[in-house]
Structure 1
Amino acid sequence: MSGDQPAPDRILQLIFGYWATGILGTAASHSLFTHLEHGVDTADRLADRAGISVRGAQALLDGLVGLELIEVRDGSYRNTAEASAFLVDGLPTSLSPFAVLKMGHMGSLAGLPDAVRAGGPATVATVEVADNPHWEGLVQAIAAQSVPVAAIAAGLLGLAGAGEISILDVGGGSGVYSGIWLGLNPLARATQLDWAPINSIARRLLTARGVADRFTTVDGDLHTADLGTGAYDLAVYSHIAHQEGAEANTAVFARLRSALRPGGTLVINDYIVDDDRGGPPFALTFAGEMLLKSKQGATWRRADYAAWLAKAGFDDVTFHPTPSPATLVFAR
């Protein structure tokens, strides 16, 4: 088509979007990006190294070139800078485990029309229970998304030189914030509140980081657990708000305000949409995920956070965009 006539290309790309999930997840499951990073650069060699068919290796390579995740020149393949940074196994920022995880979730999208009709999941969201075995894979797979954001927050707050500080991480999952911040500040101590199965994962991971001697866990539910009074200099609420409704977020923020010492800071990390709901694209799209998988969650506006935090007693609230899809919020 030419002139002002619209073309169907972008719509077709969206319709076939699940192929991107499948190709990326499958390539990650066979460590193709890692092999490419180590110089295994042809379909034949990749097939041999990964233990897959040559035909299968070529199909994945073609798809990854189409997705602009790898490049080909004279029959030799290599990762793009983006793939080298975020898809090679073993890197703290590797999203490959998350790609594999999300490939396994594709079938759940068939329930989205019913969720849209009903205003939520057709059945009770089993994700929101302590004994769900998926936590073992999930909390580690999503940790990589928070690694750069936690480092950015540490820099903005000057944590490396903050001395003896006490940190509370509510719903801390893998303990990624505590791990990074304790590594930067040898005088800091951190406490994580989360369900027992998740805390056990965090303790194991922070032991591997060498900071477990300054890391404490409290088993409990963030909605009901006692957070204490005036005990912490910093509190973290990362990727929790989008799972909760307005009343629940306001209530937790009020309890976190009480848990902080005078002058303490609440750090929120989440996918936040503009007040007019015009962007950003990732946060807007993620709203469907929350409709399908949570009871009251959504991707909330900046105005929502500002109102909840003001009601909870915070009078200094700032928003900080990051290179990731998430936004940092500091409240004092």
Structure 2
Amino acid sequence: MTGNEPAPDGILRLINGYWATGVVGTAAAHSLFTHLEQGAGDAAELAARAGIAERGAQTLLDGLVSVGLVELHEGRYRNTAEASAYLVDGGPTSLTGFARLKLKHMAGLADLPDVVRAGGPVRDAVVEVADNPHWEELVTALAAQSVPAATIAAEALGVADAGPVSLLDVGGGSGVYSAVWLEANPAARSTQLDWERINVIARRLLAERGLADRFTTVSGDFHTTDFGTGTYDFAVYSHIAHQEGPEDNVAVFSRLRDALKPGGALVVCDYVVDDDRGGPAFPLMFGAEMLLKSKQGGTWRRSDYHGWLVKAGFTDISYHPAPPATVVIAR
């Protein structure tokens, strides 16, 4: 190689990207980030606390340093600020459950060449069905991802000072939006529409936070269940649009517009890509997940959301960064 030729190391890191998923997921499975946060600082200490081999602990530490989640300081290992915020067990924004879950999804990527050829799933990979036992693990693992966006949306709408307002959360999953908003506003009430198997999880999580008396659920499919007319001050449609096609999203937005009181606001949160599809990186990559697991979903552009919301009758539309997602507020 001459000095003008590009090095292959960046390509090799991408080809072997599954190593990062394996290292982070395994470290989460053994609570290494939690042990580091609690003072363990070398392979021997981590191995003793986690009940794993010292060789295994050192290998995970090396991998975590490589991906930038652990750093060395005066000969001792410690979490980076990012790992402390999102990978320590038990925190409201902990993503350790999601990291463990992704270990189980790695094999499914082998189908991607066939999925790309077919334009959609080639196996029984679609998870959006009411009785999928996968929900218990998936819904709880995903919950932490929505906390920052739910907080950003609440602040943008002044929920804390809005008085006795009502919220409809369509496909609310774990009930994160309800939990964040009800904690911010003791006078607010929330209704979640989702499949009963998921609502059971949400009711349990809201009860654990002492919010059950202001949280109700409606069991059903949001495509067919009546949202009501002029009933709610706010509505939320979070991380649902990416699994739906354009016509279905317009239809749901129209029904949500009808369900809002005059002056009410709709919150849509999802992985939104730029109009020229030049970024951001995470939403662009997430499109592969939708190709693997949904029949008509994708990562949609800002202009797509704007067009759909205007068709649905909204006139005031704003965008609020919540990396890697975007919060869209429509009135």
With the length of structure 1 as denominator, give the TM-score of the two structures: 0.98
Match of 1:144 in 2: 144
Match of 1:247 in 2: 247
Between the aligned partners of 1:169 and 1:236, the Cα distance in structure 2 is: 5
Between the aligned partners of 1:310 and 1:123, the Cα distance in structure 2 is: 36
Equivalences for 1:36-55 in 2 at 5 Å? 36-55=36-55
- Measure how far apart 1:126 and its partner are: 3.7
Match of 2:121 in 1: 121
Match of 1:225 in 2: 225
Match of 2:325 in 1: 326
Match of 2:100 in 1: 100
Work out the percentage of aligned pairs sharing the same amino acid: 70
Q: Would you say how many aligned residue pairs link Structure 1 and Structure 2?
A: 331
Indicate the SS of the match to 2:127: helix
Between the aligned partners of 1:31 and 1:232, the Cα distance in structure 2 is: 42
Equivalences for 1:107-186 in 2 at 5 Å? 107-186=107-186
Contact 2:126–2:295, Cα closer than 8 Å, also in 1: no
- Measure how far apart 1:74 and its partner are: 4.3
Contact 1:86–1:93, Cα closer than 8 Å, also in 2: yes
- Measure how far apart 1:35 and its partner are: 0.4
Can you list the C-alpha shifts for 1:65-89, whole angstroms capped at 9, x where unaligned?
1111111234421111111111000
Match of 1:307 in 2: 307
Moved more, 66-75 or 93-102: 66-75
Contact 1:172–1:238, Cα closer than 8 Å, also in 2: yes
- Measure how far apart 1:140 and its partner are: 1.0
Amino acid of the residue matched to residue 80 of structure 2? T
- Measure how far apart 1:18 and its partner are: 0.2
Amino acid of the residue matched to residue 291 of structure 1? L
Match of 1:81 in 2: 81
User: Which structure 2 segments of 5+ residues have no match?
Assistant: none
- Measure how far apart 1:5 and its partner are: 2.1
Between the aligned partners of 1:123 and 1:64, the Cα distance in structure 2 is: 33
Match of 2:235 in 1: 235
Match of 2:25 in 1: 25
Amino acid of the residue matched to residue 209 of structure 2? R
Between the aligned partners of 1:283 and 1:78, the Cα distance in structure 2 is: 30
Amino acid of the residue matched to residue 328 of structure 1? V
Q: Would you say 1:12 and 2:12 are equivalent positions?
A: yes
Between the aligned partners of 2:53 and 2:242, the Cα distance in structure 1 is: 41
Between the aligned partners of 2:316 and 2:33, the Cα distance in structure 1 is: 44
Between the aligned partners of 2:163 and 2:2, the Cα distance in structure 1 is: 63
Can you list the C-alpha shifts for 1:221-263, whole angstroms capped at 9, x where unaligned?
0100010000000000000000111111111001100100111
Contact 1:125–1:295, Cα closer than 8 Å, also in 2: no
Match of 2:198 in 1: 198
Can you list the C-alpha shifts for 1:267-292, whole angstroms capped at 9, x where unaligned?
00000001111111111110000000
Between the aligned partners of 1:80 and 1:15, the Cα distance in structure 2 is: 25
With the length of structure 2 as denominator, give the TM-score of the two structures: 0.98
CA RMSD of aligned residues (A): 1.0
User: Which structure 1 segments of 5+ residues have no match?
Assistant: none
